[in-house]
Amino acid sequence: MPDWLLPGPTPAEFPTEERCTITELLNEPACPEVSLALARVAPGVTTRLHAVAGTVERYVVLAGEGIVEVDGETARITPGDRVLVPAGVAQRVAATGPAPLEFHCVCTPRFRQEDYVDLGDGPAIAPPLTAPSPRSPQ
């Protein structure tokens, strides 16, 4: 088998202590520079406040709606939104709609459990004070 092929199947979805489920689509020692996961947050659930040391995260919202908090600032998120989370910054998401909030999470370098920092529940996530700006056509 060639070194560049990482054979399937992808691992099964699993629950986390963070209060979401994860499907690791790509997270291999053979590819240390990046990982890709599908995250799913059930309606009405807020993930635990956490940071990932040394890892930049990017969320691409696929389905559902919610509120994301990054470094104490909140914003509403819906499909198509992208969220950039600097390394080591406190973050969490809340699924506010009737369906699960689903998003791809791209990490650089790849996510490693030992870099995860649980910051507890913290105060309740606050809704954003302003409405999101209108989307510009792509």
Question: Which three-class secondary structure state does DSSP give residue 113?
Answer: helix
CB atoms closer than 10 angstroms to residue 134: 5
Q: How far is CA 28 from the centre of its chain?
A: 18
- How far is Cα 29 from Cα 95, in angstroms, rounded to an integer? 31
What tens digit of pLDDT does each residue of 74-124 get? 999 999 999 999 999 999 999 999 999 999 999 999 999 999 999 998 888
- Mean pLDDT score of the chain, rounded to an integer? 92
Mean per-residue pLDDT, 40-58: 97
- How far is Cα 44 from Cα 88, in angstroms, rounded to an integer? 26
Residue ranges and CATH numbers for the domains of the chain are: 14-118 (2.60.120.10)
Please give the pLDDT value at position 3.
85
Residue 131 has pLDDT above 80, yes or no: no
Contact partners, residue 73, CB within 8 Å, separation at least 6: none
Mean per-residue pLDDT, 32-52: 97
